[in-house]
Amino acid sequence: MKTKNTTSFDVEEFVRKSIEEIKKKSGNEKVIAACSGGVDSTVAAMLAKMALGEKLKAVFIDDNFRREGEPERVVKILGKLGFDVRLINARRKFMKALKGVSDAEKKRKIFRKTFYETISQIMKKEKAKFLIQGTIAADIIETKKGIKTQHNVLEQIGIKTKKTYSFEVLEPLKNLFKPQVREVARYLKLPREISERMPFPGPGLLIRIIGEISEEKLEILRKATKIVEEEFASEDFFQVFAAILPGKATGIIDEKKKLGYIIGVRVVKSEDAITATVPEIPYEKLRKISRRITNEIKSVARVLFDITDKPPATIEYE
Ligand code: XMP
């Protein structure tokens, strides 16, 4: 089933086989689903809930790198979908682990380690032996190619979770690409806000701040992200987001010359995130975004719009 071609994909059979396999592999053990509210992790968790019922518990880890209000919003949606879900506040743990780190790959690796250590503690407490996660084919391909370390790719690069963290991972979507995952989500009648949800990287805002993170930068990025998402809310682009670029630029802040942050705005069209193109955006829209960001976030001096396709760029900045 390793194909990008959605026409040959039998969604009904996929759901039936996945449920059977989750039941078989997990035996009678308790299973935890790591949920982010994205389409991949929600579909994986839903398949597990259909297979295991009450034996499936969902957790949302608040690492401090989610969008404004996102942890509460996602937990509410999952609750409405019938999940037994817990919100775990691990903000301090992640901030401490990432303090002073600026290299992108190091950030990703520390994120992965902190994420799985947090999960591992929860699993031990819950006496759960299996973790369901929404890893998809594109995550594995890009990690194996060495383009970047996707935080949820473990076994495929030789990290034995049983040995390292004392649990096993179940990845029902590992052979699917995004369009197929969305097809499964629609088939399972998940709400549109899940099935059509814009991809958001596992390490979230962590990888949209180039270099070292801080509470101040995270606060700025949450606000900029909200503005960009609001401005493109009625559009159907694959991803729209803001990032904090390295360094500062001169600006006039509170009527004084002052160095301010540089925000990059990225909008891409794509099918599967393997390639992407930048659509033409009306100039007036770009000016509005720039004005809103600099007016609403005083410490930002510049807003840049990125016109680079993938390849040669990647979608994210790190
Ligand atoms: P790139 O930047 O490689 O992104 O063109 C391709 C797709 O993957 C998402 N992405 C990530 N997702 N962990 C994730 O879970 C990551 O470390 C990561 N890096 C990129 C990105 O948003 C895009 O959809």
Closest CA to 210 of 242, 236, 179: 242
Pocket test for ligand 1, best of 116, 150, 181 (most atoms within 8 A of CB): 150
174 lines ligand 1 (CB under 6 A): no
Closest CA to 293 of 270, 261, 254: 261
Strand ranges across the sheet with 85-89: 85-89, 56-62, 31-34, 130-132, 168-170
Phi, psi of 80 (to 5 degrees): -65, -30
Is pTM beyond 0.85? Reply is yes
72 CB neighbour count, 10 Å cutoff: 12
Q: What is the residue with the minimal CA distance to atom 22 of ligand 1?
A: 201
- How many A from CA of 308 to the centre of ligand 1? 16
- How many A from CA of 32 to the centre of ligand 1? 24
Which of the four pLDDT bands, split at 50, 70 and 90, describes residue 140?
confident
What is the per-residue pLDDT across 260-318, written as a single tens digit (0 to 9) for each? 999 999 999 998 788 999 999 999 999 999 999 999 999 999 999 999 999 999 999 99
Pocket test for ligand 1, best of 63, 106, 315 (most atoms within 8 A of CB): 315
Side-chain half-sphere exposure of 74, counting CA atoms within 13 A:
25
- How many A from CA of 166 to the centre of ligand 1? 27
What is the per-residue pLDDT across 85-125, written as a single tens digit (0 to 9) for each? 999 999 999 999 999 999 999 999 999 999 999 999 999 99
- How many A from CA of 234 to the centre of ligand 1? 23
